[in-house]
Amino acid sequence: MSQSLRKPEIIKIARREGRVTVDGLVDHFGVAPQTIRRDLTELADSGKLERVHGGAVLPSTTTNIGYSERRELNQAAKVDIARVCAAQIPNDCSVFLNIGTTTEAVAGELLHHQGLLVVTNNINIAMILSQNPSIEVVVTGGNLRRSDGGLIGDLATQTIRQFQFDYAVISCSALRENGDLMDFDIQEVGVSKTIIAHSEEVFLVADGSKFERKAPARIASMAQVDLFVTDLPLSPACASFCETSGTKVLYA
Amino acid sequence: MSQSLRKPEIIKIARREGRVTVDGLVDHFGVAPQTIRRDLTELADSGKLERVHGGAVLPSTTTNIGYSERRELNQAAKVDIARVCAAQIPNDCSVFLNIGTTTEAVAGELLHHQGLLVVTNNINIAMILSQNPSIEVVVTGGNLRRSDGGLIGDLATQTIRQFQFDYAVISCSALRENGDLMDFDIQEVGVSKTIIAHSEEVFLVADGSKFERKAPARIASMAQVDLFVTDLPLSPACASFCETSGTKVLYA
DNA sequence: CTAAAAACGAGCAAAAACGAACATTTTTAC
DNA sequence: GTAAAAATGTTCGTTTTTGCTCGTTTTTAG
């Protein structure tokens, strides 16, 4: 059997069994192990399978690999920030939580709150909060961004416009010295702007590393933020900007 | 973490049984306890499982016990139905998938399609489909129903009204002999009605057990369904109703 | 509470699997 | 038919995985 006939069958077997072994395929096709290895390597390169020692498996959980790695990044700091932020939010109020790993950490800390109405455009946050039956969870519509489970686009802003929140917890991709909140995705910027416009109190959560990063799209100015929770001390320039604009700063 | 052929299967067993033991896995795979321990330790490190003395359990965050049990119910039939249904949907079109375990199975089968725009009010479906980068996933807004990850209420219908779908795949809680589709939740009924009104072709997926159940709210009549995919033969009364109303019936 | 039993993790050597390079066979083009 | 190209098989040094020993920690029984 030639290669062109082997590969589809390998995939078929993998789909049925969930996995394939080099030995098993050697028996099945009657060819040398090296040949099977070549097949598997090529199938893995083209994304059809995932290579493992001894064989290959279906690429199942690989979806948000980049994301889950990023989530690990600075996780301790994020949880500390989240705890401080959650402590500023009372029971029995309405809260918006937007996209971001730090915001997700806030969701985790909010699990012990009671009587919240939480609206979110982050599918992971919806999953997290569904554990607490005393929290009503509303999900905005939107296009699903696979990289991080965010819902963005016009549908998201449409939904948000129908609410007025007591609190909004937002994050951003980068922070500039002059107090501008920046983001990578222009579609997300529209969502964030709408959130700010429809919230009484705006909380920004961002760890210190955000000051070292650059992003192209401007969401808002720190002046529109009521509370900024972070982990590392602000630069003098940024601290004085917050002072002037009346933005309260808390350190985790 | 280094991959292994065993790990996906360990997770599968853990999902099914709720827990795994070192001894049980040693028997299952025919390897040394030390090897299983290594696997479990690594799975625990990456958050897939939670290590306990003597084995491992599912992490507390991924419980949803009642739901996942119900999902197992009649699973084989659901997958068969899903496969037949998915085969009727071409590539490069727009599809709506609504709440339901059978509908979720359809989502799994649609993973191999290309160029779809899928809109759903089921958060689990959004998660499933995010694995295929060639499918654009749009989530409707709505109140999150924790029991099954469904998004319901006015926000959901609002979103749906903005689309016109090539195909809609819907399910229901119960089916009556006279061809009425019934549901438990009145809020979901509104969503389902809107879906039907905004779709060119309506596919109903429901296993035979739905005929034995009762539900209070009427969604629609079988006459509004273009294709009904099920597993068991219909009663003569129902079959003749489908005949008269022009509803095509396929058996898995 | 104490002691025995079971389970655990670290380190190490053996075994299995791996990939690269090259020889050989099969297919394809002319 | 031949020659080039592609696929396959073989060899061998390297990497990864696995099983074993042993001292430590956790659970269980009394």
Residue A97: pLDDT over 80? yes
Give B16 to chain A, closest Cα distance, Å. Answer: 15
Q: Please report the pLDDT score of residue A135 as a whole number.
A: 93
Residue B93: pLDDT over 90? yes
- pTM, entire model: 0.70
Q: Residue A121's pLDDT band (boundaries 50, 70, 90)?
A: very high
Q: Please report the pLDDT score of residue A172 as a whole number.
A: 93
Note the CATH number of domain A3-57: 1.10.10.10
Looking at A21-35, A64-78, B58-72, B119-133, which range is the least confident one? B58-72
What does the pLDDT average to over B130-157?
90
- Cβ atoms A227, A248 nearer than 8 A: yes
Distances in Å between the alpha carbon of B94 and those of B91, B119, B120, B165, B250?
A: 9, 8, 11, 5, 22
Q: Which residues contact B155 (CB under 8 A, 6 or more apart)?
A: A138, A140, A141, A159, A162, B140, B141, B142, B143
Give A2 to chain B, closest Cα distance, Å. Answer: 24
Cα distance between residue A146 and residue A65, in whole Å: 11
Q: Please report the pLDDT score of residue A132 as a whole number.
A: 84
What does the pLDDT average to over A200-224?
91
Q: Residue B180's pLDDT band (boundaries 50, 70, 90)?
A: very high
Q: Please report the pLDDT score of residue B15 as a whole number.
A: 73
- Cβ atoms B139, A142 nearer than 8 A: yes
- Sign of the Cα torsion B23, B29, B33, B39 reads negative
What does the pLDDT average to over A95-114?
92
Q: Please report the pLDDT score of residue B73 as a whole number.
A: 53
Which residue from A130, A139, A158 is facing B139, i.e. has the nearest CB?
A: A139
- Cβ atoms A252, A231 nearer than 8 A: yes
Which residue from A57, A128, A151 is facing B8, i.e. has the nearest CB?
A: A57
What does the pLDDT average to over A164-187?
92
Q: Please report the pLDDT score of residue B96 as a whole number.
A: 97
Q: Does domain B68-251 have CATH number 3.40.50.1360?
A: yes
What does the pLDDT average to over A30-46?
87
- Cβ atoms A135, A118 nearer than 8 A: yes
Q: How many Å does it take to go from CA A147 to C1' D18?
A: 36
Residue A70: pLDDT over 70? no
- Asked if the C-beta of B137 comes within 8 angstroms of chain A's C-beta atoms, the answer is yes
- Cβ within 7 Å of nucleic strand C, residues: A 2, 22-23, 33-34, 37, 41, 51-55; B 22-23, 33-34, 37, 41, 51-55
A32 touches strand D (CB under 7 A): yes
Nucleotides of D under 7 A from a protein CB: 7-11, 16-21, 26-27
Q: Which of A69, A111, A155 to mutate to test the interface with B (most CBs of B within 10 A)?
A: A155
Q: Please report the pLDDT score of residue A73 as a whole number.
A: 56
* CB < 8 Å from A in window 24-53 of B: 48
What does the pLDDT average to over A86-113?
93
Q: Residue B97's pLDDT band (boundaries 50, 70, 90)?
A: very high
CB contacts, 8 Å: A141 with chain B = 138-142, 155, 159
CB contact under 8 A, B5 and A54: yes
Residue A61: pLDDT over 50? no
Give B135 to chain A, closest Cα distance, Å. Answer: 10
Cα distance between residue A135 and residue A108, in whole Å: 12
- Cβ atoms B122, B104 nearer than 8 A: yes
Residue B52: pLDDT over 70? yes
Residue B60: pLDDT over 80? no
Q: Please report the pLDDT score of residue B65 as a whole number.
A: 40
Q: Please report the pLDDT score of residue B13 as a whole number.
A: 84
Residue B75: pLDDT over 80? no
What does the pLDDT average to over A186-212?
93
Residues 171-190 of B with CB under 7 A from strand D: none
**Burial of residue B152, with CB atoms counted within 10 A of its CB: 0-12 exposed, 13-18 middle, 19 or more buried:** buried
* CB < 8 Å from B in window 146-165 of A: 146, 149, 151, 155, 158-159, 162
Residue B68: pLDDT over 60? no
CB contact under 8 A, B130 and A146: yes
Looking at A39-48, A96-105, B32-41, which range is the least confident one? A39-48
Mean pLDDT, chain B, as a whole number?
Answer: 87
Of A153, A163, A123, residue with least CA distance to A139: A123
Residue B74: pLDDT over 90? no
CB contacts, 8 Å: B123 with chain A = 123, 126-127, 139
CATH 3.40.50.1360: which residues of chain A? 68-251
Taking the C1' atom of every nucleotide in all shown strands and the CA of B33, the nearest one is D19
Q: How many Å does it take to go from CA B3 to C1' C13?
A: 22
CATH 1.10.10.10: which residues of chain B? 3-57
Q: Residue B222's pLDDT band (boundaries 50, 70, 90)?
A: very high
Q: Please report the pLDDT score of residue A2 as a whole number.
A: 54
Give A141 to chain B, closest Cα distance, Å. Answer: 4
Q: Please report the pLDDT score of residue B159 as a whole number.
A: 93
Helices (H), B100-223: 101-109, 123-129, 154-160, 186-197
Which has the higher per-residue pLDDT, A193 or B130? A193
CA B159 to centroid of chain Cα atoms? 21
Mean pLDDT, chain A, as a whole number?
Answer: 87
Percent composition of chain A: helix, strand, coil (DSSP 3-state, to 5): 45, 25, 30
Dihedral, CA atoms, A46, A48, A52, A53, nearest 10 degrees? Answer: -80
Cα distance between residue B88 and residue B72, in whole Å: 24
